[in-house]
Amino acid sequence: MEEEYSVDPALLLAAATDFASHPGTQSDASAQEFLNRFPLPAIINALQTKADYPGLENALVDSLERIFKTKYGASLIPHFMPFVVVGLGADSQKVRYLACETVSCLLENIDDSTSVHLIHQYGVYPLLLNCVIDGDEQVATVSMDAIKNLAGSPNGLAIIFPANISGPTQLGNLAGKCSSLGRVRVLALIVKLFSISSSVASLVYSSKLLSLLEREVSNTNDTLVTLTVLELLYELAEVQHSTEFLSRTMLLQLMSSIIGNASAESILRSRAMMIAGRLLSKENAVRFIDESSFRAVVLAIDRRFDFLESQDADECECALEALGQVGLSNQGAVLLLTGSPPAARHVIDAAFDRQQHNKQLAALHALATIAGEPRSENDVILTGGAEENLQRLIYEMASRTSKLTPSGLLQSILQQDSDLRLAGYRLIIALVARPWCLLEIISRQEIINVVIDTYTETKKIGMELRHKCCQAIYRALTSSSKLISDPALADIAAKLQEAIRRGPYLVRTRTEAQPVVMTAERF
């Protein structure tokens, strides 16, 4: 058999290198032409027996990867499943990588019933799990992708979540037998599966796999592992349907505990703040997370703020960003502004403190969010007590500075660098919906001059935010029958309206043609 499929390794190396380096994707025709010259059994035989031929293994792996990604190449995979099985257990990480990629190609190009049946028949799934646990980083990543593809069909899910919960491939049992690196990789696989859909997330939850993440976070003996798991939780919290399931766990309580742990590494507290903030910022957070959990997180961050010193700049910025995320919803903003004392005071104090640029920038964006810039127009204004505290805290902050008034604070922000100015636009867009802030802004011609000036910003995002700010001021002004009827404000309204009409981007006003005087030519 070997003799029948034997080829000159030098000739095969040259052809495979040329095929693999061809720019762009390979077509079915080019893949078929290559395999007509070098049949697949010959390539597989060479890969198994000529691995020590310099450069041959890399060239064959690269070319086979491109072949199997074509429709024609993928159609051949079901006939070569024994090769896939051998490849998944190979000593060579390159070959294992190829085998995992081949499984993905099978699942993506062959109908579900056939591909999943083959994976079950040849025992592929346990081999993929081995690649997750003990493969190199690239092999682990591509094997996770293959398992995620397998989870895309009901039959595939039955393999990943077997009825026998005590089986060796059950992810919870597997994680318990792994090294710390293997456990982290299994947890990363769980996060990938959870992110597929709400129905798969439900299987992950009912299989008690989320408890593995909680257990690792609770174990603070290995800071590196804990930080890695926190990064996975941060990724998990980004999933839209995460709040529904994570709210049933002890995750938020664990995050509050880490935030309040003064002996923990600062980076661990920072990530815990960001995870909690991300979870509480979800649109459906109000439905699934009770008020006590909201308040526990806010209280933990608030207490931590009291102990932060100037050198803890990174942690301080994370705390500000987390508070901003909590304030994304109306309910979250109310909680930040109605505590005793309100946690939002830290955000307001930092927003107008020019001592630390990045801290001020984070605080300005957080305050703009709490004040309602990302929320719908009907959801900007908060309940009475929260609104009163927002106004009081800003006026108190202004009174402690040389600017004396909120309008002075806002003007000073618009006079700073581009990043702070953009945050200032967001803050004005949110605050100007309040009559007291509208009066502050229209009392400062300098603020109006900045927001109507087409040349203030040179970058697209800055131009658009400036224009949006202009629109917000004009909308608030014209919605007040008392103010719009004031003749003294007619000029401001006209300037705002003209600036809105010009649009957000650079617009040159029309200039009259200028006569050019030239000396007459003489012949």
- In this structure, what are the phi and psi dihedrals at residue 512, rounded to the nearest 5 degrees? -75, 150
Dihedral (CA of 139, 144, 149, 153) sign: positive
Q: What is the CATH number of the domain that holds 100?
A: 1.25.10.10
Q: Block means of pLDDT (10 residues each) for the chain, length 523 residues?
A: 63 86 82 88 82 81 90 92 92 92 93 91 94 94 95 90 78 87 93 94 92 86 86 90 89 90 87 91 81 87 75 83 90 89 91 86 94 89 91 92 88 91 94 92 89 86 91 88 77 87 70 55 51
In a domain, residue 68? The reply is yes
**3-class DSSP assignment, residue 391:** helix
pLDDT at 488: 76
pLDDT the model gives residue 3: 44
Number of domains in the chain: 1
Residue 2 lies in a domain: yes
Long-range contacts of 34-37 (CB under 8 A, 24+ apart): 34/63, 34/67, 35/67, 35/73, 35/76
pLDDT (0 to 100) of residue 515: 58
49 within some domain? yes
Residues 374/426, Cβ–Cβ less than 8 Å? no
Which residues have C-beta within 8 Å of that of residue 210, sequence separation ≥ 6?
Answer: 190, 194, 204, 245, 246, 249, 251
Q: Which residues contact 393 (CB under 8 A, 6 or more apart)?
A: 337, 342, 344, 345, 348
**Residue-level pLDDT at 308:** 67
Q: Name the residue range of residue 37's domain.
A: 1-160
- Cβ atoms < 10 Å from Cβ of 286: 16
**Interatomic CA distance for residues 364 and 108, integer angstroms:** 46
Q: What is the pLDDT of residue 295?
A: 87
What is the SS3 string spanning 432-472? CCCHHHHHHHHCCHHHHHHHHCCCCCCCHHHHHHHHHHHHH
Backbone angles phi, psi at 53, to 5 degrees: -75, 120
Indicate whether 26 belongs to any domain: yes
Global confidence as pTM: 0.83
Q: Which of 261, 258, 281 is nearest to 271 (CA)?
A: 258
Nearest to 277 by CA among 257, 256, 291: 256
Instruction: Please give the span between the terminal C-alpha atoms of the chain, in angstroms, as a whole number.
Output: 96
Domain assignment present for 155: yes
Supply the pLDDT for residue 510.
46
Contact 350, 320 (CB under 8 A): yes
Would residue 398 count as lying in a domain?
A: no
Quote the pLDDT of residue 511.
44
Count Cα neighbours of 321 within 13 Å in the Cβ-side half-sphere. Answer: 18
| 17, part of any domain | yes
SS3 content of the chain, % helix, strand, coil (to 5): 70, 0, 30
Residue 219 resides in a domain: no
> What is residue 419's predicted lDDT score, i.e. its pLDDT?
92
Cβ–Cβ < 8 Å for 22, 58: no
Closest CA to 393 of 356, 441, 434, 423: 434
* One-letter amino acid for residue 228 of the chain: T
Cα→Cα distances 211→40, 160, 196, 250, Å: 45, 18, 19, 9
* The length of the chain, given as a count of residues: 523
Nearest to 271 by CA among 311, 322, 220: 322
CB under 8 Å to 475, separation ≥6 — which residues?
none
Q: What is the pLDDT of residue 401?
A: 82
CA distance 480 to 435: 9
Contact of 159 with 125, CB cutoff 8 Å = yes
